[in-house]
Structure formats: structure tokens, C-alpha cells
Amino acid sequence: MAYDFDLFVIGAGSGGVRAARLAALSGAKVGVAEAYRPGGTCVIRGCVPKKYMVYASEYGRSLEAMKGYGWRVEGATHDHRAFMENLHREIDRLSGIYARNLKNAGAKLFDERAEFVDPHTLKLSPSGQTVTAEKILIAVGGTPSLPEEGEGWEHAITSDDIFLMEDLPEKVVIVGGGYIAVEFAGILSGLGVETCLVYRQKTVLRGFDDDVRTHVHEELKRKGVKVVTNAVPTNIEKTDSGLKLTLSNGEHLECATLMAATGRTPATKQLGLDKAGVETKADGAVKVDEYSRTNVPHIFAVGDVTDRIALTPVAIREGQAFAQTEFMDMDTTFDHELVPHAVFCQPPAGVVGLSEADAREKYRKVDIYKANFRPMKDMLTGDEERVLMKIVVRAEDNVVVGVHIVGPDAAEIIQGVAIAVKMGATKADFDRTCALHPSLAEELVTMREKWKPPELASAS
Ligand code: NDP
């Protein structure tokens, strides 16, 4: 049977565009449907605008720190509207590049929402047109999810909305303790917004190394964020002046804006997956194998719509592996081990590999190396911010299985370190690497003493 397309991709985000471009460049006839704007979460309402907001807030913080270096900037103010205008100009530019790249590769972009009618047919909206394809790639990403418990969540905004706010609120409450919550707590407080973070656990960033969690948690507080732990909002009411929140611990909070940063869900609800027979998990994530193939052999899924690692570069590599295998005669799978990642809180956290707790569970005997110090730059600014560096080593063969950094440029540093860790570097390899002085990162090659718990350290 002849199909309209060799490949049809649903979603023009990072994963979908990479797959579509490579397939089209290899000679396949490719169609792509995008319901909103090319670029997806990363470009339109995620990594890119978020990082610009981090930069904006860091400039605010450095105004104070500059004094230590003799700079005086009297009467500095932040014009949020001017910043948003520049930010959106850049988002428009990048989104345009995504659309152009698809076109230049020979793929046809439809500004429409696609929904399965049967396993090879998609209906596009609003046009109502149907298209058929031999292979279909689902790359629709995820959407913010709100808690099911508690009343009044319809008054909350999510990270999708924050990039569209022309003016900043005076007071914000952020609910959650994951990536988005801690990143926006840093951003908004740095931009001068009175910020409160409400988290249902004791320490933010569940899943990260315990030292990283504690360090980030303490830095949030030190930067002026009010952190309420072991609590969730049970009731949210609109008042004349904003919102009133009742928390599970009995506390009441008032704010102009409530931001829910309580996780993201795969965006599979309106895809008609049942019409194609594609299986999903309980949270809606599409089930895939190592080749990103669903239970229906000609339908594939990459990126946040699956439940692997929800990061842009991972979606790109999954999309690339799919295109290479299916259209370029190169059998490829993406290795999800040792993917470096960073949380752009302030200071940022960069991680590759296992936390101490996970390494102890997996290998039993591990050696830990830790440094906790004030960065050189702050000796003149008076800022009390501290840097954490931690190396987790598998004792049996001295291989570095985890590196954790919280401090300025942690994301930049960890990208380089990740190469060594991915290559299987040992602690001895780190030790024989000469330090680069003066830098923060030199600490990584100068830690000689194994860390001991305080009770053992004082006994020795
Ligand atoms: P996360 O999963 O990181 O965090 C969600 C947070 O919400 C957790 O702290 C969770 O608590 C809390 N939560 C969940 N449900 C409820 C509830 N019902 N009531 C109260 N709190 C709740 O999700 P994010 O939305 O922050 O980010 C989604 C994903 O996007 C990330 O996991 C990451 O993969 C990606 N991302 C990556 C970034 C980067 O690379 N820098 C930046 C932003 C996002 P608990 O810990 O108890 O489960």
C-alpha cells in the first residue's frame, strides 16, 4: 500500500525535529505536525527561556557583589517588560530556525494537531485533513501536571505561563521541590520577587545526592527564599488582594501568584493512541523498547512522552538513534547511562553518575571525596555562598562512578568531567591530572583524603 509519507512525526520539539531532519536528509518523505510552535518545550517554554531568566536574575544579584570590586551602580532597576521583549525575540528566532531546518531538509511541516484515526492514519486539526504514513514517531513531550489533592488549583499558574507574564508579582508561592521549583525560586527571588517555596518533603531535590540536596536547600534559604517543608496546600482561595493558601501544617500564606511546579505528565491524552493500539503506562507515558519502538512495530516514541530521562539532549539522541536505525541503515540505540544533568538553581548543581546512597546500594564499598569551600570570587564580595564538590568512587577498582558539584559554573564543569567518567576514569586518573589554577574545578583533582563520617574522623 502506498502511504502519503514514509515517516510522520507528531511534535516538532527537540527529539521530533532531529529524527525528522535526519530521515528527510536520508531521502525519506517526511511530514511533521506541530500544534503550537516549532521548538517544543526546550525552546518555547523550557530550557532556553529559563536559562535567560537565570541570567537576568544573576545580573540582579551581582549588583550587590560588584561593590566588593569597587563598582557602584546607583539606582539600578529591572525593566521586566524590556527583558521579556528581548527574550521573546530570541525564542521567535530559534523557533524560526527549527521550522527552516525542517524545510531545508525536505520535511513538510503542518501547523496542526495530529491524532490517530487508525495505526497508519492521522487526522490533522483544525484542517480536518487526514494523512497516512508507513512509520509514525510520537514526540509530543509532556505538560505540567497539577496535584489531584487539595482545592483551588485552578488559581495556580505553571512554568508554561511564567514566560508569558509581562509583569512580575510582588509575592509568589512555588509548590514543589524538583528542578522547576528550585530553579524558579532562584530566578524569581533574584528578580526581586518575595518568594516562598512549599515542599512536601524535608529537603528539596529528591533523587539527588543527599549532600547536594542539603547544599541547594541551604543556599535557597540563604538567598532569601522562605522554604516551608513537610507541607502541601490543601486549599487555595482567591481574595481581593490575591490568593490565600491553607497548608496541611495549618499555616496560611498570602501571595499574588501561586506557581505549581509539581511535575510533568506525558502529553498523550488527546492523541487517540487507543485507535492505533499503542500501549501506555499508568501515567500516560508511551511504552517503548531500546529502539524507541512501541508495541505497534511501525510506531515509535522519543523524548518526554516516554518515561526515560526527561532532558533535551536525551530526546535528541533518542530521535537520532531512531532515524539512524530506521532510515540510515545504522543500527543504533542510545545509552541512557551516565547522562550528565544540571539544575539551574543558584548556585547551580551539576551531576554525572550515582549519588553516594545509590552507589552504596549498588556496590556496597565506596570511597567518598568531598570539598566544601567559599569560591575565591566571593572573598571580596562578602557573599557567604559555598561550593560543594563530591566524588563517589567504587572501592573495588577505584573507578569514579559519580561526581556532584554545587557552585558557580557547575553545569559547565560537569559536562567536561562527564567525558572522563563515561570513559571509565579512576580516581588515580583524576589525581594524575594537573590542576588548573586558580579555578573552582581544580578541586576535583586535588582531593586526596577519603571522607570519613565526623564520628570516625574525630576518633582517628
Ligand atoms: P520534578 O519531578 O523534578 O519535581 C516535581 C516536584 O513536585 C517534586 O518535588 C515532587 O515532590 C512535587 N510534587 C509532585 N506531586 C505533588 C503533589 N501532588 N503535591 C505536592 N508536591 C508534589 O518535576 P519538574 O516539574 O520540576 O520537572 C519535570 C522534569 O523536567 C524534570 O524531572 C526534569 O527531567 C526536566 N527538567 C529539567 C531541567 C534541567 O535540565 N535543568 C529543568 C526543568 C525540568 P516529591 O519529590 O516528593 O516527589
Cβ 369 vs Cβ 447: under 8 Å:
yes
State the Cα angle at 42 between 98 and 217, rounded to 5°: 165
d(CA 356, CA 255): 38
What is the CA(261)–ligand 1 centre distance, in A? 6
Bridge partner list, 369? 391
For 28, 46, 48, 90, 315, the CA distances from 310, given in Å and listed in that order, are: 28, 12, 15, 24, 7
Beta bridge partners of 300: 137, 293
Question: pTM of the prediction?
Answer: 0.97
For position 389, what pLDDT does the model report?
A: 98
The DSSP result for 123-136, as a single string, is: EEETT--EEEEEEE
- Residue 256 is classified by DSSP as S
Q: If you average pLDDT over residues 144-170, what whole number do you get?
A: 96
Indicate which residues carry an active-site annotation.
437
Encode pLDDT of 176-225 as tens digits: 999 999 999 999 999 999 999 999 999 999 999 999 999 999 999 999 99
For 277-299, give one letter per residue: b (16+ CB within 10 A) or e.
ebebeeebbbebeeebbbebebb
Backbone φ and ψ for 406, nearest 5 degrees, come out as -125, 115
Quickly state the pLDDT bin for 166 (edges 50, 70, 90). very high
Nearest to 303 by CA among 51, 19, 38: 19
Nearest CA owner, ligand 1 atom 17: 147
| CA separation for the pair 59, 45 (Å, rounded) | 21
Ligand 1 centroid from CA 448, angstroms: 35
The model's pLDDT over 83-134, given as tens digits with 9 standing for 90+, comes to: 999 999 999 999 999 999 999 999 999 999 999 999 999 999 999 999 999 9
Q: How far apart are CA 12 and CA 39, in angstroms?
A: 6
d(C-alpha 110, C-alpha 30), whole Å: 11
Kindly list the structural domains of the chain, giving each domain's residue range(s) and its CATH number in brackets, ordered by start.
Answer: 5-144+265-327 (3.50.50.60), 153-262 (3.50.50.60), 341-453 (3.30.390.30)
The answer to whether residues 158 and 33 touch, using CB atoms and an 8 Å cutoff, is no
CA 178 / ligand 1 centre spacing (Å): 4
pLDDT in tens, 338-385: 999 999 999 999 999 999 999 999 998 999 999 999 999 999 999 999
Q: Whose CA is nearest to atom 35 of ligand 1?
A: 310
Q: What's the pLDDT tens digit per position in 372-423?
A: 999 999 999 999 999 999 999 999 999 999 999 999 999 999 999 999 999 9
- Can you tell me the mean pLDDT for 166-172? 96
